[in-house]
Structure 1
């Protein structure tokens, strides 16, 4: 496979494989140097081949959001999976029971309701499942507030014979709302301190805490250094994106995921149209509130060009600051947020330079149940 990338039918998703592998290697080396385990979140890429690369470079296992993602990864041979999500609903519980028969799986919990349905299902099977309590360290999404309530909740876990309490986990997604790198650092340090302190409190109450797991790509290398943290769960780092560039977590050369798109119209000197719209880029201008992103993607090599608006199949470019855009030209775009973009495609070409080396199926796309 040596096709030129500019012969691909657009819009087309590509991964610059050398950059991808550098990103995977870099995070693995950080985890090793910090003395923490790496359990990357695969919701960002949804590709078994990339998950296996992460494990080859030293990841202990993977993290997923949904059972559907876990099933795809288990089918590909990955056997250590953390579902960092609350499993609620009879159909999902039954699928979880089946999944646990063939791979090592652990799940997140934050309610007595969740504890009871998990315990009942696994007790009926004569088995048990590992659980981690989700902690809210600032995102205000799922999770228990740090404090005595966590200790009381952990004691409730221990009362249930089919549940094995393994530890606590969090996701500092609020870092995506930071306005600068200093704020990211503050959020990451606070994330690590809260989790380490909470683990210490649990231990002082006689509760064994094996895992203190933190997440988010912007904060992983910050909270991961906190004494007492045992595991990091970054996901986006394999690709990075324009949001990470805005947060100064990454630069253009670290962004491995790109969209190739063709200029199809230039109706005025200040406006050009590309063949990629919201069905390609999604409408994300910043997860959890980041304001350091302009437009709907970063146009590589075209300083001043802004993807100003999106229709479903059209991207409207403001070229008032750079008129060097021609009909028929193929542009390379770094998405604002890689995670939803990968979920909009069936496959991605992995490339080296301008040559296509092969294709990967995005096997876990659409697995939102």
Structure 2
């Protein structure tokens, strides 16, 4: 008798393809593992960009995680709808998004919102809008610690801090640093590189405390360096991928024992040549920013080799005399789960304790109501 694999669905015939599947039991195990890896769960500020889901957010809230990080106004609104206590928009709002952030704070007064700033002009605009709206907006200075994407260099932080701390309309909470450029497979290398950032942030924190009599909150890192900051600092930590995990992180970060908990299911739709099969997993169903051979691996058919992909199709080399037939179901593990989730309107959540549910990927939208 062939043992049932963890990913096999009880009712595969009712599942539309291509489709996104969340495995709730494994998600819960990942959340519990995350909590076990840190001394105080109040230091956890998970990033919701990976899952963008109300139900998954509430799984974290149910066991005491109260702080979250997000990247878009829609994600921030989803968190407000969930009643999250502390929400950091890890993005500097520009243009209409400044007004949207103010509206969010007015609509969800029980949630404490904050955002990033990295220049005086944006801080002044936000301060003015906040004053005019009768509120005070919390802000973090975004520090460029080597990724060279956003933020200001460490040597300029104290000057900006001095200017922003005097502004009426905003409350300066601390520093934010994202180190997405550190993704080395070797844990020792990640430790070495992260320690340089830790020294910089600790120095800035000490200078702020001395000069401004204020102990800043420091929010740092993502998933690759979580296993450094969790034990070697008192920073707030912001892993996101941990909840669902994926093939890329599974291969890269062996010291992190999270379970893969989200798959894309696909069906064989054509047999165009004797060695080729075509399934319905195109660009619109699985993230396609990586090379063709680093987009998805099929757990029940790991020998399949991707040949080409278009919007609605993925052609695979199955070899001569292969056993695949039209209609066969393939269970695909994405290499990059975050943008894959964003391609789907909903996920089918399966659990050993209840019937399947539909979980909307509500904040995949650019706009919910605000």
TM above 0.5: yes
Query: Are 1:271 and 1:317, in contact at CA under 8 Å, matched by a contact in 2?
Result: yes
Distance 1:113 1:71 in 2: 25
Corresponding position of 2:68: 62
Residues 148-179 of structure 1 deviation map (CA, whole Å, 9 limit, x = unaligned): x1111110111101111111111111124x25
CA change 1:27–1:354 in 2 (3 A) is closer
CA shift, 1:303, in A, is 3.0
Query: Are 2:265 and 2:330, in contact at CA under 8 Å, matched by a contact in 1?
Result: yes
Task: Tell me the C-alpha RMSD between the 2 structures.
Answer: 2.6
Residues 313-364 of structure 1 deviation map (CA, whole Å, 9 limit, x = unaligned): 0012233499454332101011121111111111111113699521111111
Corresponding position of 2:339: 340
Equivalent position to 2:11, from 4, 10, 17: 4
SS of the aligned residue for 2:312 comes to coil
Distance 1:283 1:126 in 2: 45
CA change 1:245–1:36 in 2 (3 A) is same
Query: Are 2:246 and 2:337, in contact at CA under 8 Å, matched by a contact in 1?
Result: yes
Residues 11-66 of structure 1 deviation map (CA, whole Å, 9 limit, x = unaligned): 111011111111111112223x2676111111111111111111222322211111
Residues 209-249 of structure 1 deviation map (CA, whole Å, 9 limit, x = unaligned): 3311113111112122223x321111111111122123135
- What runs of 5+ residues in structure 1 fail to find an aligned partner? 287-292
Query: Are 2:117 and 2:123, in contact at CA under 8 Å, matched by a contact in 1?
Result: yes
SS of the aligned residue for 1:105 comes to strand
SS of the aligned residue for 2:306 comes to strand
Distance 1:60 1:347 in 2: 24
Query: Are 1:264 and 1:273, in contact at CA under 8 Å, matched by a contact in 2?
Result: yes
Corresponding position of 1:263: 268
Query: Are 1:346 and 1:361, in contact at CA under 8 Å, matched by a contact in 2?
Result: yes
Distance 2:353 2:322 in 1: 25
CA change 1:223–1:306 in 2 (3 A) is farther
Task: Please state if 1:199 is matched with 2:198.
Answer: no
Distance 1:201 1:304 in 2: 56
> What TM-score results when the alignment is normalised by the length of structure 1?
0.88
Query: Are 1:109 and 1:115, in contact at CA under 8 Å, matched by a contact in 2?
Result: yes
Query: Are 1:278 and 1:312, in contact at CA under 8 Å, matched by a contact in 2?
Result: yes
CA shift, 1:143, in A, is 0.9
CA change 1:253–1:329 in 2 (3 A) is farther
SS of the aligned residue for 2:90 comes to strand
Query: Are 2:47 and 2:238, in contact at CA under 8 Å, matched by a contact in 1?
Result: yes
Corresponding position of 1:289: none
1:14-93 alignment runs, 5 A limit: 14-31=21-38, 33=39, 37-89=43-95, 91-93=96-98
Equivalent position to 2:217, from 179, 195, 211: 211
- What runs of 5+ residues in structure 2 fail to find an aligned partner? 1-8
CA shift, 1:255, in A, is 0.8
Distance 2:236 2:246 in 1: 23
CA shift, 1:96, in A, is 1.5
Distance 2:295 2:361 in 1: 22
Corresponding position of 2:121: 113
SS of the aligned residue for 1:225 comes to helix
Corresponding position of 2:305: 306
Distance 1:251 1:5 in 2: 31
Distance 1:324 1:223 in 2: 48
CA change 1:253–1:235 in 2 (3 A) is closer
| Residues matched between the structures, number | 357
Corresponding position of 2:105: 100
Corresponding position of 2:3: none
